[in-house]
Structure 1
Amino acid sequence: MTEPGPLAVVTGGTRGIGLALSRRLVHLGYRTVALYRSDTQAARQAADAHGLSVVRADVADRHCVRQAARQILAEHGTPRVLVNNAGINIDRPFLELTASDWQRVLDTNLSGPFHLTQALAPAMLAAGEGTVVNVGATTGIRPRADGVNYAAAKAGLLQLTKCLALELAPRIRVNCLIPGMTETEELITRFRLDEPQHRAAVLSEIPQRRIGSTDDIADALEYLVGPLSAYVTGQKLIVDGGQFMW
């Protein structure tokens, strides 16, 4: 009988970049559990098309996160890989940002990775090995207007990555994968990339002269969870075609 593959967990793993990360982990032989918040149709399609197991959980809700972690451990076992990918934007000028706008984004983008990693790390440590990849954002390094909540959360995620890399070493490695401009439906809508002049303006800022694909980001994930990065922890890997060069 063939031994089952190792387990991977991906939050926000049924759409966009998260789906590409889930697909790549399946391709690498991982049994992959993808968490999703509300889009049941997308989750069902991802499960059917790519062989994912899907679990509904709002990572902004600590109770939901703990419940999902218990379900994963009971039904699937201990993860070897955890990808904290789920994120949300609520963009407004600073003086118009509500307390709810602030809290929702921090709860999803920063507290979610904290709570899920804390819930799963004891089992991963007991198993003797594991890899955590937090998916960051370039705005966690360089600020932008109308996104103080998102930028603050992603900046915090960078420090969370480093602190976890210190405290969970040597058995668990923790790194931050930072996508640049990546061709997803959300990005096309936000930056109006379906309009030639707007696409041209974005391309003019990227030395590679192209917008990244979700496969580019999955390639970086494959490196971070694989043996070639065995001596890499507490680091940020920016995949942006040279746009920022930090």
Structure 2
Amino acid sequence: MTRPLAVVSGGTRGIGLALSDRLVKLGHRVVAFYHSDAEAAGLAADRLGLHVMRVDVADADAVARAAETVLAEHGAPRVLVNNAGLNVDRPFLEMSLDDWRRVVDTNLSGVFHLCRALVPAMLDSDDDGGGVVVNVGATTGIRPRRNGVNYCASKAGVLHLTKCLALELAPRVRVNCLIPGLIETDEVVARLDLDDPDSRAAALAEIPQRRIGTPEDVADALEFLVGSGSAYLTGQKIIVDGGQFMW
């Protein structure tokens, strides 16, 4: 029997790499899209056996071409994980139009482009279990922060896009939003200065579980969302944050 296919955007580094890894371990063939870090993509392909493709998800035409290749070479996906994301932080009064567009086009429009390109094939698939879309959001899509109006707005949009898609694609395709809290990746450590003991202690003081999350914690939630145990779950948000926000 052919293993089911999963497509993961931003699937070769950080949280995305952990999501790709978990899907491989669950028996999926994984096509992972990446934007710029070819070295990381090559390492991920070698280590996990991923099929990697360079795709700018903000570019609708590039996404359409990539989707055509995926469908022709691998068939319809059972799982689509929209994880690609971009942070460009500035105070609102200093934020340029380019800062706004780059982040919104990647984080929000990228989800739209990939769903538009791949969901029709998921709907037409003869997979008895139907398809699953998991959109990776952010806690700042619910509670705002300073200097991130573009990022916060884009992730709030992802959450509502998830709900709209869940309504329109049911019952054949389930759509949910996976929302990581503070997760220890290289990017987060650098951006929040978590190598500094005082900064780390301040972060830990806000988390009831008293630890910073790992990419594997997020992958655990993904495993639930793509499995049969969540068959009656759609249009929902799953927050993996150690109790930091409790929304």
Distance in 2 separating the partners of 1:198 and 1:217: 23
- AA matched with 2:58: A
Q: Any idea what the Cα deviations from partners look like across 1:49-75, whole Å, max 9, x if unmatched?
A: 011000110001111111111111011
- What CA RMSD, in Å, does the superposition of the two structures yield over aligned residues? 0.5
- AA matched with 1:25: L
Matched with 1:153 is 154
Matched with 2:185 is 184
Question: What is the TM-score with the length of structure 2 in the denominator?
Answer: 0.98
Q: Does 1:137 align with 2:135?
A: no
Distance in 1 separating the partners of 2:56 and 2:41: 14
Instruction: For residue 79 of structure 1, give the secondary structure of its aligned residue in structure 2.
Output: coil
Distance in 2 separating the partners of 1:170 and 1:4: 24
Distance in 2 separating the partners of 1:68 and 1:55: 8
Distance in 1 separating the partners of 2:139 and 2:12: 22
Matched with 1:55 is 53
Distance in 2 separating the partners of 1:96 and 1:69: 36
Distance in 1 separating the partners of 2:151 and 2:216: 24
Distance in 1 separating the partners of 2:165 and 2:244: 28
Q: Any idea what the Cα deviations from partners look like across 1:77-114, whole Å, max 9, x if unmatched?
A: 10000000000000000000000000000000000010
1:184-203 matched pairs, under 5 angstroms: 184-203=185-204
How many residues are matched? Answer: 244
1:1-246 matched pairs, under 5 angstroms: 3-128=1-126, 129-246=130-247
Distance in 2 separating the partners of 1:46 and 1:165: 31
Q: After TM superposition, give the deviation of residue 38 of structure 1 in Å.
A: 1.0
Instruction: For residue 238 of structure 2, give the secondary structure of its aligned residue in structure 1.
Output: strand
- AA matched with 1:29: G
Distance in 1 separating the partners of 2:16 and 2:188: 14
Q: Any idea what the Cα deviations from partners look like across 1:138-186, whole Å, max 9, x if unmatched?
A: 0000000000000000000011000000000000000000000001000
Distance in 2 separating the partners of 1:192 and 1:90: 17
Instruction: For residue 135 of structure 2, give the secondary structure of its aligned residue in structure 1.
Output: strand
Question: What is the TM-score with the length of structure 1 in the denominator?
Answer: 0.98
Gaps in structure 2 of 5+ consecutive residues:
none
Instruction: For residue 222 of structure 2, give the secondary structure of its aligned residue in structure 1.
Output: helix
Q: After TM superposition, give the deviation of residue 4 of structure 1 in Å.
A: 2.2
- AA matched with 1:116: L
Structure 1 runs of 4+ off > 3 angstroms?
none
- AA matched with 1:196: P
Distance in 2 separating the partners of 1:212 and 1:170: 33
Distance in 1 separating the partners of 2:54 and 2:142: 31
Instruction: For residue 121 of structure 1, give the secondary structure of its aligned residue in structure 2.
Output: helix
- AA matched with 1:244: F
Distance in 2 separating the partners of 1:194 and 1:11: 28
